[in-house]
Amino acid sequence: MEHTTDQEFWDARYAEHERVWSGDPNAVLAEEAADLEPGTALDLGCGEGGDAVWLARRGWRVTATDVSGVALERAARHAEAAGVAGRIDWQRHDLGTSFPEGRYDLVSAAFLYSPIEGMPRERILRTAAAAVAPGGVLLVIGHAGPPPWDPDAHPGVHLPTAEEVLKSLDLPDGEWDVLRAGEHDRVQTAPDGRVMTRTDNAVMLRRRPA
Ligand SMILES: C[S@@+](CC[C@H](N)C(=O)[O-])C[C@H]1O[C@@H](n2cnc3c(N)ncnc32)[C@H](O)[C@@H]1O
List, for residues 16-35, the tens digit of each pLDDT value.
Answer: 998 988 889 999 999 999 99
pLDDT at 134: 98
pLDDT at 171: 97
**Residues with Cβ < 8 Å from 97, sequence gap 6 or more?**
none
101 domain residue, yes or no: yes
52 domain residue, yes or no: yes
Task: Label residue 155 by pLDDT band (50, 70, 90).
Answer: confident
CATH number at residue 81: 3.40.50.150
1 domain residue, yes or no: no
Nearest CA to ligand 1 atom 15: 114
What is the best residue among 17, 67, 141 to mutate for testing ligand 1's pocket, by most ligand atoms within 8 Å of CB? 67
50 domain residue, yes or no: yes
With a cut of 90, say whether residue 121 has pLDDT above it. yes
Mean pLDDT of the chain: 96
103 domain residue, yes or no: yes
Task: Label residue 185 by pLDDT band (50, 70, 90).
Answer: very high
Q: What percent of the chain is modeled with pLDDT above 70?
A: 100
The answer to whether the pTM exceeds 0.95 is yes
138 domain residue, yes or no: yes
In 3D, which of 10, 1, 2 has the Cα closest to residue 119? 10
Ligand 1 centre from 135 Cα, in Å? 26
163 domain residue, yes or no: yes
With a cut of 80, say whether residue 1 has pLDDT above it. no
Counting from 1 in the atom list of ligand 1, the atom nearest the Cα of 13 is 25
Nearest CA to ligand 1 atom 9: 47
184 domain residue, yes or no: yes
In the chain, how many domains are there?
1
Q: Which residues, in sequence order, are bridge partners of residue 44?
A: 65, 109
Structural domain boundaries, residue 187: 6-207
pLDDT at 3: 75
